[in-house]
């Protein structure tokens, strides 16, 4: 409907076989800024309603041919006229007509002889209700359309993320082997040159070697995440001792902690059996310790616990912590906080830990340690035996 039509006064279709009654109602409604269309019998009413799309129908009950009830029934059967509110004009004596009118879909009734002010009040109320209903319907349709388009955008985004993921996985996969070969050739070359070149050149060569190690490390992490996503890694699950895995990780990082003047400690049971992927878990705990050692001021503490059928590994530090708004973001792939600028790393560490948590039907949570951060890795990994 055009805006011009929308601005017109509401249109009421008055249906009555009594000319005097019809004239009276038409004059009164027109005198109150409403547009009026008329029909003198049921058949004409159905044709008119279909043609002029009234905003409301005033319908006489007693008419020769189709009576008001039948007309109303047919109006409600026609999808083009179904939504138009119908008010019956019924004589005072026929009280049963009122309920019958509601049964066939009328919204209201007025009694004859008509009280014009009452008629106008009811007409206006139902016009207003009709308009509100129409607005609601339109808003609903718009909302549904918005939901549909958002869902489509989300699907497109997921598809895009997956395709980027697949591409980066493919690159990592194809480049890892030649890079690893190159790394070993270079290492052999450095060994050969050790006695032949000066200290500065040797240092630069070793620097290049550790750059390649970093790239290989990134590729390994990406490929591991890809395996976790694909569910392939569950084949690596074996009965293991988590206390042993954690102790080894702490031992591995001890020299680095000492170098940075930080205390790195471990607490928890001597033995903690669980059905896990030990290689992935060692890497996950290592990543958490690696992060904590980057940010801690004086100490990093690793605690192992066993509660409610879950095994928990908590790594706590006394560094600057992570703001609440960033706690979810830091577990996304390649996300690095501002504080990490200039420090080594690519932002895959926590993404991998989260992947490992998911693989073990567990969770990864970041909490404030006041001061610092405590990262908790909870794992559902009850051992197969015992």
Ligand X SMILES: Nc1ncnc2c1ncn2[C@@H]1O[C@H](COP(=O)(O)OP(=O)(O)OP(=O)(O)O)[C@@H](O)[C@H]1O
CA neighbor of 86 nearest in space, from 298, 77, 94: 77
Q: Does 357 bind ligand X (CB under 6 A)?
A: no
Asked whether position 76 contacts ligand X by CB under 6 A, the answer is no
Q: Which stretch binds ligand X (CB under 6 A): 30-38, 39-47, 166-174, 342-350?
A: 342-350
Among 107, 278, 295, 362, binds ligand X (CB under 6 A): 295
Closest CA to 361 of 345, 377, 346: 377
Select from 291, 313, 359, 378 the one that contacts Mg ion (CB under 5 A).
Answer: 291
For the CB of residue 176, give the shortest distance to Mg ion in the complex, in Å. Answer: 20
DSSP symbol at 35? E
- Find the binding residues for Mg ion in span 333-352 (CB under 5 A): 349
Helix (H, G, I), strand (E, B) or coil at 293: helix
Phi, psi of 66 (to 5 degrees): -65, 125
Please, which residue, 105 or 345, has the CB nearer to ligand X? 345
Instruction: Between 28 and 335, name the residue whose CB sits nearer to Mg ion.
Output: 335
Binding residue (CB under 6 A) for ligand X from 21, 94, 340, 365: 340
Which is closer to Mg ion, CB of 37 or CB of 291? 291
Strands 373-379 and 363-368: antiparallel
**Options 130, 236, 305, 347; binder of ligand X; rule CB under 6 A:** 347
Cα 317 from Cα 327, distance rounded (Å): 15
Shortest distance in whole angstroms from residue 370 CB to Mg ion:
22
Q: 37 or 369, CB closer to ligand X?
A: 369
- Residue nearer to ligand X on the CB measure, 34 or 350: 350
Q: How far is CA 359 from CA 211, 272, 275, 347, 362, in A?
A: 30, 19, 12, 20, 7
> What does residue 258 show for φ and ψ, rounded to 5 degrees?
-60, -45
Q: 115-149 burial string, b = 16+ CB within 10 Å, else e?
A: ebeebbebbeebbeebeeeeeeeeeeeeeeeeeee
Q: Which of residues 204-243 bind Mg ion (CB under 5 A)?
A: none
Report the greatest alpha carbon distance in the chain.
Answer: 122
- The residues, any chain, with a CB within 8 Å of residue 190's CB and separated by 6 or more, are 202, 205, 206, 209
Quote the CA–CA distance of 238 and 236 in Å, as a whole number. 6
3-state secondary structure of 80: coil
Q: Whose Cβ is closer to ligand X: residue 122's or residue 376's? A: 376
Which part of the chain contacts Mg ion (CB under 5 A), choosing from 181-189, 232-240, 283-291, 299-307? 283-291
Q: Which residues pair with 14 in a beta bridge?
A: 38, 58
Among Mg ion, ligand X, none, the one that 42 touches (CB under a kind-dependent 5 to 8 A) is: none
Q: Which is nearer to Mg ion, 278 or 349 (CB)?
A: 349
Number of chain residues interacting with ligand X (CB under 6 A): 23
Instruction: Give the residue with the Cβ less far from Mg ion, 239 or 326.
Output: 326
Positions in 234-293 near ligand X (CB under 6 A):
287, 291-292
Distance CA 201, CA 306 (A): 51
Q: Per rule CB under 6 A, is residue 348 in the interface with ligand X?
A: yes
Q: How far is the CB of 347 from Mg ion (least distance, A)?
A: 7
Helices (H), the chain: 3-7, 19-30, 42-52, 68-77, 95-103, 116-193, 199-230, 242-259, 278-295, 349-359
- Interaction with ligand X in 303-332: which residues (CB under 6 A)? 317, 319-322, 330
* 286 touching Mg ion, by CB under 5 A: no
Under the binding rule (CB under 6 A), the answer on residue 337 touching ligand X is: yes
Q: How far is the CB of 264 from Mg ion (least distance, A)?
A: 16
Contacting positions for Mg ion (CB under 5 A): 291, 349
Contacting positions for ligand X (CB under 6 A): 287, 291-292, 295, 317, 319-322, 330, 335-337, 339-340, 345-351, 373
């Amino acid at each position: 409907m055009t805006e011009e039509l929308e601005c017109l006064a509401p249109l009421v279709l008055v249906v009555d076989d009594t000319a005097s009654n019809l004239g009276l109602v038409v004059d009164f409604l027109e005198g109150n800024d409403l547009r009026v269309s008329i029909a003198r019998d049921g058949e004409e009413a159905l044709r008119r309603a279909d043609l002029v799309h009234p905003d409301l129908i005033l319908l006489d009950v007693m008419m020769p041919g189709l009576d008001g009830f039948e007309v109303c029934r047919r109006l409600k059967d026609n999808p083009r006229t179904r939504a138009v509110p119908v008010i019956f004009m019924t004589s005072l004596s026929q009280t049963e007509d009122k309920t019958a009118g509601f049964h066939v879909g009328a919204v209201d009734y007025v009694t004859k002889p008509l009280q014009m002010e009452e008629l106008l009040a009811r007409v206006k109320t139902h016009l207003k209700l009709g308009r509100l209903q129409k607005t609601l319907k339109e808003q609903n349709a718009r909302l549904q359309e918005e939901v549909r388009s958002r869902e489509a955008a989300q699907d497109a985004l997921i598809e895009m993320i997956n395709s980027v993921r697949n591409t980066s996985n493919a690159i990592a996969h194809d480049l890892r082997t030649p890079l690893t070969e190159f790394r070993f050739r270079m290492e052999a070359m450095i060994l050969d040159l050790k006695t032949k070149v000066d200290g500065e050149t040797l240092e630069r060569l070793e620097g290049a070697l550790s750059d390649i190690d970093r790239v290989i490390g990134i590729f390994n992490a990406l490929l591991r995440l890809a395996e976790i996503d694909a569910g392939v890694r569950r084949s690596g699950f074996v009965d293991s001792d988590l206390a042993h895995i954690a102790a080894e990780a702490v031992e591995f990082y001890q020299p680095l902690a000492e170098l940075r003047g930080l205390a790195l400690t471990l607490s928890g049971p001597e033995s903690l059996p669980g059905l896990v992927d030990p290689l992935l878990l060692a890497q996950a705990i290592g990543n958490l310790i690696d992060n904590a050692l980057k940010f801690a001021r004086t100490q990093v503490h690793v605690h192992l616990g066993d509660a409610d059928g879950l095994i928990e590994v908590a790594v706590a530090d006394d560094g600057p912590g992570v703001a609440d708004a960033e706690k979810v973001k830091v577990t996304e792939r390649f996300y690095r906080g501002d504080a990490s600028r200039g420090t080594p790393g690519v932002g895959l560490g926590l993404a991998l830990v989260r992947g490992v948590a998911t693989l073990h039907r567990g969770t990864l949570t970041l909490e404030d340690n006041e001061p610092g951060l405590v990262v908790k890795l909870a794992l559902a990994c009850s051992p197969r035996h015992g």
